[in-house]
Amino acid sequence: MAVKKRDPFYLRLARGFNEYIRMFREGDLWTRLSYLIMGAGSLARGQIAKGLLFLGGEAAFIWFYAGFGWRYLKDFGTLGTNAQLRVWDEADEVFRRIPGDNSMLILLYSVLTLAAILPLVMLWKSNVRAAYKAQKLRESNKSLPGFLADAKTLLDNRFHMTLLSFPMITLALFTALPIVFMVLIAFTNFDKSHQPPGSLFGWVGLANMRNVVFSNPLYARSFGGILGWTFVWAVFATFSNYILGMILALMINKKGIKLKRMWRTIFVTTIAIPQFVSLMLVSKMFTDTGVVNVILQRLHIVSSPIPFLTDANWARFMVVMINIWVGIPYTMLMSTGILMNIPAELYESASIDGATPVQTFISITLPYMLFVTGPYLITTFVGNINNFNVIYLLTAGGPATLDYYQGGKTDLLVTWLYKLTVNEQNYSLASTIGIFIFVIVAALSLTVYNLTGSVKKEDQFS
């Protein structure tokens, strides 16, 4: 499939507008009425079911706006002005509250309400186009497709709509809208002294961004330091698992090694135990008084406990090592199959050339794997940048340090952000940092992802 050169976005938008103006000009009364009352065109031309669907959609939208959305949307500009009031009730000797505006719900449901415009626009467009098309077909005395025939295209030409509609709704509700909500919070003063419903919060513009970037040197220093370690961690965590998992798979797959199934099962057990259990267990094993230090001291290998998790360098080393313990089994399973697919001729020629196993690995296995699993590697890298579980359960970001604001030496940006939300209730600062993480990660991986060979050659496989 050749990649079409596409016009810039605004040009396409302008062309889209023109299209609807043209249809309005050429449209008869019913088509024009469809611009206002959805489904009018279809109903007038006998496509009753279709028309009712359009009309119902519009009615549902109006009902949603009048009954729910408007209540919140009207305060979107201020995020609420009426604070909660307190009234003394003499008879019962208690204070009663008169609920005020809830800034958080106003923000959240406004986002939802605004987003509801999107499906309306899509429905409206298809309503206008349907009306126009029906009019043209009538004018040229052709028969109109029935409702069933229309519906059938949903299983064929428009099958993607059928398949994607539900997942897209969940994507919007559970992922996209919450993200928009969190992004907007970065522009408010939602922190511990502005907690709804007791008190209101409002818009503060770019104040939080300024704080993180330069107004507050401690924030800036913490952000820089933690960002640096996050990348170091992501690189080490990703590649150590990748390469070691592959070597493990190679060893198990090697001809002549017996009990392959048993070996694999042993390594897979760590996947089966809930991660928070195994990580908590391991972190307890490596404390100063943990079983590892006890054994090392009994065997007189060390005289005083090794500060596995309390010394910054040790802790950073340990989280990478323990992450290997957790992660290798996945890579092993994945590489097992791929390795078997490597063309045997490649290896044969290498063995004739007298290459050592290490040389074969570096010059044949690794490049082949890298070529085939590029996208997987990027996803894993991103996953590691946001690897909340491993870090939080192992060290909770510790050892704590005075160098960072409320942070520790193994804190990733995500865990730091979590601490800021939970301990400090500083949602606005956390959201600001969230946006920074997001921009960095997204820019990086989108670029790499779209440059990777296997994505570009997506259609060449078959």
Partner 1 sequence: MTNAEIYKPAGRSASIKSRERAANAAIYTVLSVMSLFWLLPVLWLLVSSFRGEPGAYTEYIMPKQWTLSNYTRLFTDTALFSFPRWYMNTLFVAVCSCAITTFLTLMVAYTYSRLRFRWRRGLMNISLVLGMFPGFMSMIAIYHFMKAIGLDQSLAALIMVYSGGAALGYYVAKGFFDTIPKALDEAATIDGCTRNGIFWKIILPSSLPIVAYTALTAFIAPWLDFIFVSVIMKDNYANYTVSVGLFRMIERENIYQYYTRFCAGAVLVAIPITLLFVKMQKYYVEGVTGGAVKG
Partner 2 sequence: MNVRKLTAIALAALITLGAASALADTVPLKVWGSQENQALLGELIEEFKAANPGVEWDISLGVVSEADAQTRYSEDPAAAADIFAFANDQLRTLVTSDSLSEIAGSRLEAVEAANTAGSVESATLDGVLYGFPMTADNGYFMYYDKSVFSEEDVLSLDRMLEVANAAGKKVFMDVSNGWYIASFFLGAGCTLDIGEDGKQICDFNNANGLAAAEAIRKFTADPAFMTGDDSVLQGGMGGSIAAGVSGTWNASAMEDKLGENYAAAPLPSFTCGGELKHMASFIGTKILGVNSLSDYVKEAMQLAEYLTNEASQLKFFEQRALGPTNIVAAANPAVQENIALAALSAQSAWGVSQKNVLNGYWGPAEAFGLEMENKSDADLQGLLDQLASQATQ
Site for partner 1 in 109-168 (CB under 8 A): 109, 112, 152, 155-157, 159-160, 162-164, 166-168
Q: Which does 142 bind (CB under 5 to 8 A by kind): partner 1, partner 2, none?
A: none
Smallest distance from the beta carbon of 285 to partner 2, in angstroms?
Answer: 12
Within residues 227-266, the interface with partner 1 by CB under 8 A covers 248, 251-252, 254, 256-257, 261, 263-266
Smallest distance from the beta carbon of 447 to partner 1, in angstroms?
Answer: 11
Residues 190 and 103 sit within 8 Å (Cβ to Cβ): yes
| Sequence-distant (≥ 6) Cβ neighbours of residue 105 within 8 angstroms | 72, 196
Partner residues linked to 97 by β-bridges: 86
Smallest distance from the beta carbon of 51 to partner 1, in angstroms?
Answer: 25
Q: Which does 122 bind (CB under 5 to 8 A by kind): partner 1, partner 2, none?
A: none
Near partner 2 by CB under 8 A: residue from 422, 443, 446, 455:
422
Residues 75 and 81 sit within 8 Å (Cβ to Cβ): yes
Binding mask 394-423 for partner 1 (x = CB under 8 A): --------------------x--xx--x--
Establish if 211 lies at the interface with partner 2 (CB under 8 A).
Answer: no
The stretch near partner 1 (CB under 8 A) out of 40-48, 55-63, 233-241, 286-294 is: 286-294
Q: Please, how many CA atoms are within 13 Å of residue 87, restricted to the half-sphere of its CB?
A: 10
Nearest to 399 by CA among 411, 390, 387: 411
Euclidean distance between CA atoms 166 and 154, whole angstroms: 14
Within residues 289-318, the interface with partner 1 by CB under 8 A covers 289, 291, 294-295
The stretch near partner 2 (CB under 8 A) out of 79-87, 116-124, 207-215, 377-385 is: 79-87
Give the Cβ contact number of residue 5 at 10 Å.
Answer: 5
Smallest distance from the beta carbon of 9 to partner 1, in angstroms?
Answer: 11
Near partner 2 by CB under 8 A: residue from 18, 153, 165, 199:
199
User: Position 205: which residue type?
Assistant: G
Establish if 302 lies at the interface with partner 2 (CB under 8 A).
Answer: no
Q: What's the CA dihedral at 124, 129, 132, 137 to 10 degrees?
A: -140
Establish if 446 lies at the interface with partner 1 (CB under 8 A).
Answer: yes
Near partner 1 by CB under 8 A: residue from 211, 297, 386, 401:
386
Q: Which does 176 bind (CB under 5 to 8 A by kind): partner 1, partner 2, none?
A: partner 1
The per-residue DSSP string of 168-237 comes to: HHHIIIIIIHHHHHHHHHTTB--STTS-TTTS---B-TTHHHHIIIII-HHHHHHHHHHHHHHHHHHHHH
User: Position 365: which residue type?
Assistant: T
- Nearest residue (CB) to partner 1, 243 versus 372: 372
Euclidean distance between CA atoms 286 and 315, whole angstroms: 10
Residues 94 and 28 sit within 8 Å (Cβ to Cβ): no
Near partner 2 by CB under 8 A: residue from 386, 406, 445, 454:
406
DSSP type of residue 301: S
Q: Which does 372 bind (CB under 5 to 8 A by kind): partner 1, partner 2, none?
A: partner 1
Q: Which does 431 bind (CB under 5 to 8 A by kind): partner 2, partner 1, none?
A: partner 1
| Sequence-distant (≥ 6) Cβ neighbours of residue 142 within 8 angstroms | none
Residues 350 and 364 sit within 8 Å (Cβ to Cβ): yes
Nearest to 185 by CA among 441, 443, 444, 425: 425
Q: Is 34 helix (H, G, I), strand (E, B) or coil?
A: helix
Within residues 320-359, the interface with partner 1 by CB under 8 A covers 325, 333-334, 336-338, 341, 352, 354, 357
Euclidean distance between CA atoms 41 and 33, whole angstroms: 7
Near partner 1 by CB under 8 A: residue from 53, 130, 382, 390:
382
Question: Which residues sit at the interface with partner 2, rule CB under 8 A?
Answer: 82, 84-89, 91-99, 192-193, 195-199, 218, 284, 287-289, 307, 310-311, 398-402, 405-408, 419, 422-425
